[in-house]
């Protein structure tokens, strides 16, 4: 294969010179065209200013040229970067119908060549081989626009445009002074009206990655490459089996399921767990080839709000539809008897959720304006009454007509009950057992009257208008799962460190200014931890209530948020809404006190979030009836007076949790006879018990506040055998048989026998 080297001034043909029939110098685009016209060889190797072929650039080069070759590009080594060229990505909201998506890799990046080898939209400038006929007319002066134009000409002539990474040159980096490039690209688009962007990545890379728009803190959006989500193909219709076979051949990495009947159920089963993955529904006739599927994937990834893509509105009925299942919140179901009906339900839901349906011909329905939803406030009253009353007054002041207010307090918290009873609009629920009020809270959350449920601990005081602004966020963002107010000093994403005020009165002033300055601003957050959060009723129904293992502590709230995000719901901080959380030392709130002993919540692992929410891990609002406990035969006493003894008890319980469960005929009783409060004890031992599985199935532990140990001992049923794990030094327990953590097994085995 003969070629002529056209070398720009400042370039160094190097090895190319000895392989070429001639080397001709040129300058500028007009000079290039003139040199091309004068050349005799069918192919021209063009070297841009400063370019020099690297050693080995021409290995196997000749064999790579076919009669169909239009442009052959390679890798341009500039600094620490290897530039292979550009893909023309779609850009529907731009005055130029495509966007240059750079194809590059860091020097030394393993596996990069395989991903970029093959067809490419525009090759890297500075060293390329082109058919002579493509160069007879001048190219734009800008090197990037020139490359795009040249490659467009090649494709228009039915020739190939290929990247061959080993065909490499060293060249200066592209000049940051790229004045004129955008104009040149617009002119190019106007000359070639058929030219629109299609793909962001070259074909090799498309098999393993997608480019996705990510939102940075503050709102700026960037595109980043992420691993391509897994694909499930669901074939249906008369030829479902044949289509499945063909699908396996075309897409060997995909999981393929054939459903000749019951395709709608199969689709629902596929969508049971929402995660970052695609489900393709196709019948025998509509099964796409690799290129068509890639086009659908690019449509889905063109924006984070695209949920469905199909080649046409007709295909949207089931012929060929790509569903980004993670972009449908968990409560959205593909309801319907047939696959058409199921897909129509998804399409309708997508429109209602302001998700895009990318199918030519699909008409977006006119949607009614969404009105502000009614709210149910679930108020957890467990702090000191003075604090509780302050928060309660603020919360009640925020109520709108039609809102519902449920307060939860301990069954024995008489003061709290009296306080709450003074407000006729407050419905009171009680929690008989949990100082964190988890059961009561879950019961109240289970059946809210409003579409938005606000969980509000009584050590959090809302500023004026906060509830209204939280509620408005759900109107603006249909797929919102949870909205937190901004809470100064909080541990989660709702926390703000730059807000200061002297007292609660001053806080109202700050809140008012903030409400104006940052009106309707929300910031998506990865985790939230304050028990002051507005939740969508639908989202809550999908993921369940507060995990009793944690209660409404910051770990419990963070866990709830993690479930919501996994289930496809948005979680945000409302920057225009401010809430104040009282210091635990002041409020004496048990959950807040428990937070002190727990690690700060961390956002869920992105990989776990990408796997999606498993409906099996939904937390029921009402605890299941525990397995019938075996009649206790042994009682193990753990006396706890101070924090040190609580730690001692924790060590024992850790061992116990490994040996026992709730069905064991052994009961452990923490006897609180000192300064440690029940809430502190619960907070300390909850994680230990939860580590053994669901808390309902963990070792049977009772916490009792005991003023007189002797009386407690005397009141025990006579058939129970009492052992002492800690507290022998108390006179009432002295002389009883001891039990070390190591000896737990010995105790259990005879009991089981």
Partner 1 sequence: MRLHRTHELLGPWSTGTPVLDADRLAAVRVEPVLRQRRPALVLDLYLAGDDGDTIVPQVFVDPAVAIERDRDALIFPFGTPGDDAFALALAARVLPHLEGLVLGIERVHEHVLELAPAPRFAAARSAGCFGAAPLRDALTRLAPYQYARRFARGRTVRLDAPDAVGGWALLRSTGTVGIAEGRRDRDACAWYGDAPAAPERAELAVIDAAGDPGAALVVVRLDVSANGGLAVVDSLPLDLGIVFDPAEGPVRRWFSVERSVEPAARELPDCSSVPAGGSSGRIAVVLGRADGVARPGADTDEARALVDALRGEGFEADLAEEPDDAVGADLVHLIGTRDGRRARAVVEAACRARVPVAVHAYDDDAAAGGWWGATVTRLCFEHGSEERDVTAYLRLLAQRAVVVGAARAGVPYAPDEAAPDDAATALRDASIVFAASEDEAETIRRRTGRRGPLAVVPPLADAAIPATVGALVGRDPFVLVHAPIGPLGNQLAVARAAAISKTPLVIAGPVADASYLERVREFGGPQLIVLAGEPSRELAAGLRRAAGVVVDAAWIGEGASRLAASALAGTVLVVADGRPFHAPGLAVRRFDPADVAALTRAMGEGWDDALRSTHRPAAETVAALAPGAAVRAIIRGYAEAGAATPVT
**Nearest distance from residue 127's CB to partner 1, in Å?**
21
* Separation between Cα atoms, residue 103 and residue 67, nearest integer Å: 26
The footprint of partner 1 on this chain (CB under 8 A) covers a number of residues equal to: 51
Binding to partner 1 (CB under 8 A): which residues in 202-241? 213, 215, 218-221
Structure tokens at 243: 């289509």
Residue 354 touches partner 1, criterion: CB under 8 A: yes
- Who's near 148: CB < 8 A, 6+ residues apart? 86, 88, 100, 121, 122, 185, 188
**Of residues 93 and 625, the one with the C-beta less far from partner 1:** 93
Binding mask 522-551 for partner 1 (x = CB under 8 A): xxx---------------------------
Residue 196 touches partner 1, criterion: CB under 8 A: yes
Residue 305 touches partner 1, criterion: CB under 8 A: yes
CB neighbours (10 Å) of residue 6? 28
Over its C-alpha atoms, the chain yields an Rg (Å, rounded) of 34
**Of residues 322 and 689, the one with the C-beta less far from partner 1:** 322
DSSP string, 172-238: PPPPS--TTHHHHHHHHHHH-TT-----SS-HHHHTTEEEEEEEPTTS-EEEEEEEPPPEEEEEEST
Choose which of 114, 238, 433, 517 interacts with partner 1 (CB under 8 A): 517
Choose which of 92, 606, 642, 693 interacts with partner 1 (CB under 8 A): 92
Residue 644 touches partner 1, criterion: CB under 8 A: no
Residue 193 touches partner 1, criterion: CB under 8 A: no
DSSP 158: T
Structure tokens at 236: 């249906």
Residue 358 touches partner 1, criterion: CB under 8 A: yes
**Nearest distance from residue 477's CB to partner 1, in Å?**
5
Strand bridging mode 480-488 / 522-524 = unpaired
Applying CB under 8 A, which part among 358-366, 444-452, 558-566, 642-650 lies near partner 1?
358-366
**Nearest distance from residue 512's CB to partner 1, in Å?**
13
Its sign, for the CA torsion 182, 186, 192, 196, is positive
In three state form, how does the secondary structure of 85-145 look?
Answer: EEEEEECCCCCCCEEEEEEEEECCCCCHHHHHCEECCEECCCEEEEEHHHHCCCCCCCHHH
Applying CB under 8 A, which part among 55-63, 296-304, 545-553, 732-740 lies near partner 1?
296-304
Residue 360 touches partner 1, criterion: CB under 8 A: yes
Residue 10 touches partner 1, criterion: CB under 8 A: no
**Of residues 196 and 659, the one with the C-beta less far from partner 1:** 196
In three state form, how does the secondary structure of 643-662 look?
Answer: HHHHHHHHHHHHHHHHHCCC
Applying CB under 8 A, which part among 282-290, 348-356, 409-417, 658-666 lies near partner 1?
348-356
Applying CB under 8 A, which part among 13-21, 260-268, 351-359, 639-647 lies near partner 1?
351-359
**Of residues 303 and 736, the one with the C-beta less far from partner 1:** 303
**Of residues 99 and 340, the one with the C-beta less far from partner 1:** 99
Residue 745 touches partner 1, criterion: CB under 8 A: no
Binding to partner 1 (CB under 8 A): which residues in 133-192? 176-184, 186-187
Q: Is 709 exposed, middle or buried (0-12, 13-18, 19+ CB in 10 A)?
A: middle
Residue 368 touches partner 1, criterion: CB under 8 A: no
Choose which of 99, 333, 451, 697 interacts with partner 1 (CB under 8 A): 99
Binding to partner 1 (CB under 8 A): which residues in 560-599? 572
**Of residues 170 and 726, the one with the C-beta less far from partner 1:** 170
Residue 352 touches partner 1, criterion: CB under 8 A: no
- Collapsed DSSP state (helix, strand, coil) of residue 156: helix
**Nearest distance from residue 500's CB to partner 1, in Å?**
16
Choose which of 67, 95, 505, 628 interacts with partner 1 (CB under 8 A): 95
CB neighbours (10 Å) of residue 707? 8
Contact 396, 425 (CB under 8 A): yes
**Of residues 354 and 374, the one with the C-beta less far from partner 1:** 354
**Of residues 113 and 575, the one with the C-beta less far from partner 1:** 575
Its sign, for the CA torsion 587, 588, 591, 593, is positive
Nearest CA to 606 out of 557, 556, 565 is that of 565
* Separation between Cα atoms, residue 226 and residue 277, nearest integer Å: 12
* Distance, C-alpha 446 to centroid of its chain: 25
Applying CB under 8 A, which part among 49-57, 233-241, 518-526, 677-685 lies near partner 1?
518-526
Binding mask 475-514 for partner 1 (x = CB under 8 A): -xx-------------------------------------
CB < 8 Å & 24+ apart, contacts of 304-307: 304/212, 304/213, 304/214, 304/215, 305/354, 305/355, 305/356, 306/355, 306/356, 306/357, 306/358, 307/346, 307/350, 307/353, 307/355, 307/356, 307/357
DSSP string, 609-654: HHH-B-GGGPBPSSPPPPPPPPPP-EEEEEEE-SHHHHHHHHHHHH
* Separation between Cα atoms, residue 154 and residue 389, nearest integer Å: 76
Structure tokens at 106: 């860091």
**Of residues 572 and 640, the one with the C-beta less far from partner 1:** 572
Choose which of 304, 385, 615, 674 interacts with partner 1 (CB under 8 A): 304
Binding mask 36-55 for partner 1 (x = CB under 8 A): --------------------
Q: Site residues (CB under 8 A) for partner 1? A: 79, 91-97, 99, 176-184, 186-187, 196, 213, 215, 218-221, 299, 303-305, 354-360, 362, 364, 476-477, 516-517, 519-524, 572
């Amino acid at each position: 294969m003969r070629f002529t080297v056209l070398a720009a001034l400042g370039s160094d043909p190097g090895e190319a010179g000895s392989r070429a029939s001639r080397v001709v110098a040129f300058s500028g685009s007009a000079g290039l065209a003139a040199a091309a016209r004068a050349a005799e060889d069918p192919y021209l190797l063009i070297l841009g200013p400063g370019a020099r072929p690297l050693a080995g650039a021409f290995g196997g080069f000749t064999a790579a040229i076919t009669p169909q070759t239009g442009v052959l590009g390679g890798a341009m080594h500039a600094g620490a970067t290897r530039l292979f060229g550009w893909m023309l990505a779609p850009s529907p909201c731009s005055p130029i119908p495509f966007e240059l998506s750079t194809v590059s890799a860091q020097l030394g990046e393993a596996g990069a060549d395989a991903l970029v080898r093959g067809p490419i939209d525009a090759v890297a400038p500075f060293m390329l081989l082109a058919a002579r006929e493509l160069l007879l007319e001048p190219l734009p002066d800008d090197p990037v626009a020139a490359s795009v134009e040249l490659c467009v000409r090649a494709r228009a002539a039915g020739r190939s445009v290929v990247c061959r990474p080993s065909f490499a040159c060293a060249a200066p980096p592209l000049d940051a002074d790229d004045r004129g490039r955008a104009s040149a690209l617009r002119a190019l688009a106007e000359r070639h009206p058929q030219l629109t962007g299609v793909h962001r990545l070259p074909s090799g890379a498309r098999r393993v990655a997608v480019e996705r728009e990510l939102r940075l803190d503050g709102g700026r959006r960037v595109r980043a490459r992420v691993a391509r989500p897994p694909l499930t193909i669901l074939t249906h219709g008369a030829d479902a089996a044949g289509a499945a076979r063909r699908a396996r051949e075309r897409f060997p990495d995909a999981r393929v399921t054939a459903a000749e009947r019951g395709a709608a159920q199969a689709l629902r089963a596929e969508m049971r767990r929402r995660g970052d993955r695609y489900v393709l529904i196709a019948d025998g006739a509509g099964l796409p080839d690799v290129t068509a599927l890639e086009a659908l994937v690019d449509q889905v990834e063109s924006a984070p709000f695209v949920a469905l893509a199909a080649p046409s509105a007709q295909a949207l009925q089931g012929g060929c539809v790509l569903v980004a299942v993670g972009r449908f919140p968990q409560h959205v179901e593909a309801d319907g008897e047939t696959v058409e009906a199921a897909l129509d339900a998804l399409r309708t839901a997508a429109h209602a959720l302001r998700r895009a349906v990318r199918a030519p011909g699909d008409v977006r329905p006119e949607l009614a304006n969404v009105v502000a939803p009614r709210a149910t406030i679930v108020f957890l009253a467990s702090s000191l009454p003075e604090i509780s009353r302050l928060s309660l007054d603020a919360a009640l002041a925020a109520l709108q007509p039609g809102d519902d207010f449920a307060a939860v307090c301990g069954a024995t918290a008489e003061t709290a009950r009296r306080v709450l009873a003074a407000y006729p609009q407050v419905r009171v629920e009680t929690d008989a057992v949990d100082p964190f009020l988890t059961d009561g809270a879950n019961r109240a959350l289970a059946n809210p009257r409003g579409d938005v449920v606000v969980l509000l601990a009584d050590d959090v005081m809302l500023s004026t208008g906060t509830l209204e602004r939280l509620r408005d966020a759900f109107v603006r963002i249909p797929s919102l799962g949870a909205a937190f107010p901004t809470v100064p000093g909080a541990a989660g994403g709702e926390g703000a460190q730059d807000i200061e005020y002297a007292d609660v009165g001053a806080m109202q002033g700050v809140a008012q200014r903030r409400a104006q300055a940052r009106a309707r601003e929300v910031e998506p957050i990865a985790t939230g931890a304050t028990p002051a959060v507005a939740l969508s009723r639908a989202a809550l129904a999908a993921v369940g209530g507060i995990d009793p293992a944690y209660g409404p502590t910051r770990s419990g709230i963070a866990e709830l948020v993690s479930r919501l995000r996994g289930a496809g719901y948005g979680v945000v901080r409302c920057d225009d809404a401010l809430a104040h959380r009282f210091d635990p030392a002041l409020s004496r709130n048990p959950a807040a006190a428990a937070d002190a002993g727990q690690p700060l919540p961390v956002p869920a692992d992105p990989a776990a979030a990408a796997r999606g929410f498993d409906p099996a891990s939904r937390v029921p609002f009402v605890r299941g009836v525990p397995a019938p406990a075996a009649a206790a035969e042994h009682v193990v006493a753990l006396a706890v007076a101070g924090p040190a003894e609580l730690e001692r008890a924790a060590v024992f319980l850790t061992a116990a949790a490994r040996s026992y469960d709730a069905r064991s005929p052994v009961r452990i009783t923490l006897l609180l006879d000192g300064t440690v409060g029940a809430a502190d004890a619960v907070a300390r031992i909850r994680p230990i018990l939860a580590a053994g599985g669901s808390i309902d199935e963990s070792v049977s532990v009772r916490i009792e506040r005991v003023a007189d140990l002797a009386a407690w001992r005397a009141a025990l049923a006579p058939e129970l055998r009492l052992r002492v794990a800690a507290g022998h030094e108390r006179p009432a327990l002295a002389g009883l048989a001891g039990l070390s953590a190591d000896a737990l097994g010995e105790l259990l085995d005879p009991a089981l026998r």
